[in-house]
Structure 1
Amino acid sequence: MVEHNIYLQSKEEISKSEYIIYLQNKVQELEDKVEQLRLSRRVLMNLIEKIEREKNSLMEKLERENKKLHKSNYRYAKRLLNQNLLIAELQSKLSNSN
């Protein structure tokens, strides 16, 4: 509360030493806030880096899964095509034999 009173008083009403103490306290308060901001920034940067690593890991996993599914889908489609060709061939033979 003294800080606010000093701020509101004119220079004539306070001594130089009181004003210097006020300014020193204010500087210390601002330095503390800067340090808190630096710490907060480090914490946020660490979180961002962690999230980025997790995102990259997930993307790699999903890309591998996607490739695996594409291969599986290709094999399944190829099998279906071969079976359809076989069915068509057998139907053709059956209709030719009648």
Structure 2
Amino acid sequence: MEERMDVDFLRDRVLELEEKVEQLRLSRRVLMNLIEKIEKDKAGFLSRLERENRKLQHNNYRYAQRLLHKNRQIVELESKLQDGASQNFRK
């Protein structure tokens, strides 16, 4: 009789542990799916940041080029003004 109880207890325990293993497998699948989604979202976010960074660098380069061009124009105009002022002074 006691032997029968041990077998029944062990059988029940095995079933209980099998259920827990199945729950753990399901939980693992859910977690892996979440990790995959997070990694995909992260990659998309990084990609957008990199595109935005390239765009900002390009815009910054164009702005710096315009500033250099305007500075050259200012220097040329100042030079012309000084040349004109010095010619008027000589006369």
TM-score (norm 1): 0.84
Provide the residue aligned with 2:29 in structure 1. Answer: 42
Provide the residue aligned with 1:95 in structure 2. Answer: 82
Give the number of equivalent residue pairs: 85
| Root-mean-square deviation over aligned CA pairs | 0.8
Provide the residue aligned with 1:53 in structure 2. Answer: 40
Determine whether 1:78 maps to 2:65: yes
Question: Which residue identity does 1:90 align to in structure 2?
Answer: L
Query: Which structure exhibits the higher relative contact order, with contacts defined as CA atoms closer than 8 Å and separated by 6 or more residues?
Result: 1
TM-score (norm 2): 0.90
Unpaired stretches in structure 2, ≥5 consecutive residues: 86-91
- Cα offset, 1:15, TM superposition: 1.1
- Cα offset, 1:63, TM superposition: 0.7
Determine whether 1:20 maps to 2:7: yes
Provide the residue aligned with 2:89 in structure 1. Answer: none
Unpaired stretches in structure 1, ≥5 consecutive residues: 1-13
Give, in whole Å, the separation in 2 of the partners of 1:95 and 1:44.
75
**Aligned-partner SS, 2:83:** helix
- Cα offset, 1:37, TM superposition: 0.6
- Cα offset, 1:60, TM superposition: 0.8
- Cα offset, 1:96, TM superposition: 1.0
Aligned structure 1 segments of 4 or more residues deviating by more than 3 angstroms? none
